[in-house]
Amino acid sequence: DTGVSQDPRHKITKRGQNVTFRCDPISEHNRLYWYRQTLGQGPEFLTYFQNEAQLEKSRLLSDRFSAERPKGSFSTLEIQRTEQGDSAMYLCASSLLGPGGAKNIQYFGAGTRLSVL
Amino acid sequence: DAKTTQPTSMDCAEGRAANLPCNHSTISGNEYVYWYRQIHSQGPQYIIHGLKNNETNEMASLIITEDRKSSTLILPHATLRDTAVYYCIVRAGGTSYGKLTFGQGTILTVHP
């Protein structure tokens, strides 16, 4: 399978614990995005990388959230001191930025569902 | 990015064409229309995008009005597996634009 891969698919944690999610993008895709989706809502943008540089962060990304893409390949999203409000689906997407940007099509993984008890 | 308006839900009979409308009256000249769909418990799936010309691919057709203030996604022969939430998104082209801004989308239910 050469699509976007996310691990784990499901995570249950207790309030106050730290969690880390991993995303492996489509090979050679230079952009990687993180989104969060709560029940009944569309995905909300969190942050994105071009290669290893983090180019934009949403206001949704509080100080407890940190994302990295150290070698420009896979990425991790860490949530420290989880709260019940962090319960959501965390989606990763990747794209290959070409000339002009219009065909910067984002392909999504299946997501990591986080439940904070 | 321009705001989009979509009906909350639509129904379609299996085998018939599904026509999903989207209003984007504040779209600007460099903004593209993208369509994604999300089947339950899966990540969003890219369907099609366009600037001003009509577009067709193996999944769907995209019809954009001449003034670009609205568009219609057409699934020519809907199947039960097309039941999903369909998102219409407007986003500028250019390398400086990254994120997609999703709205609530249209819940399409295809009936046998």
> For A18-93, where are the alpha helices, taking DSSP H only?
none
**Number of cross-chain residue pairs from A and B with Cβ atoms under 8 Å apart:** 63
Task: State the nearest Cα–Cα gap between B86 and chain A, in angstroms.
Answer: 10
Task: State the nearest Cα–Cα gap between B31 and chain A, in angstroms.
Answer: 9
Q: In this predicted model, what pLDDT tens digit does every residue of B46-105 receive, in sequence order?
A: 999 999 989 999 999 999 999 999 999 999 999 999 999 999 999 877 666 778 999 999
> What is the predicted pLDDT for the residue at A108?
97
Lowest mean pLDDT among A13-17, A31-35, A60-64, A109-113: A60-64
Q: How confident is the model at residue A103 (pLDDT cuts 50, 70, 90)?
A: low
Task: State the nearest Cα–Cα gap between A17 and chain B, in angstroms.
Answer: 25
For chain A, give the percent of residues with pLDDT over 90. 82
| Residue among A2, A52, A45, A50 at smallest CA distance from B44 | A45
Using the predicted structure, report yes or no on whether residue B39 has a pLDDT greater than 70: yes
Residue range A6-19: mean pLDDT, rounded:
97
Q: CB–CB of A100 and B94 under 8 A?
A: yes
> What is the predicted pLDDT for the residue at B50?
92
Question: Which of B99, B101, B107 should one mutate to test binding to chain A, selecting the residue with the greatest count of A CBs within 10 A?
Answer: B99
Q: How confident is the model at residue A101 (pLDDT cuts 50, 70, 90)?
A: low
Q: CB–CB of A45 and B100 under 8 A?
A: yes
Strand A10-13 and strand A112-116: the pairing is parallel
Q: CB–CB of B43 and A108 under 8 A?
A: yes
> What is the predicted pLDDT for the residue at A107?
95
Residues forming beta bridges with residue A71, ordered by sequence position: none
Q: How confident is the model at residue B29 (pLDDT cuts 50, 70, 90)?
A: confident
Using the predicted structure, report yes or no on whether residue A1 has a pLDDT greater than 60: no
Q: How confident is the model at residue A23 (pLDDT cuts 50, 70, 90)?
A: very high
Nearest residue of B to residue A40, measured between CA atoms: B104
> What is the predicted pLDDT for the residue at A102?
55
Q: What is the DSSP letter of A87?
A: -
Using the predicted structure, report yes or no on whether residue A97 has a pLDDT greater than 90: no
> What is the predicted pLDDT for the residue at B30?
84
Query: What does B5-56 look like in DSSP terms, one character per residue?
Result: B--SEEEEETTS-EEEEEE-TT--TTEEEEEEEE-TTS--EEEEEESSS-EE
- Give the HSE-up count for residue B84: Cα atoms under 13 Å, Cβ half-sphere: 22
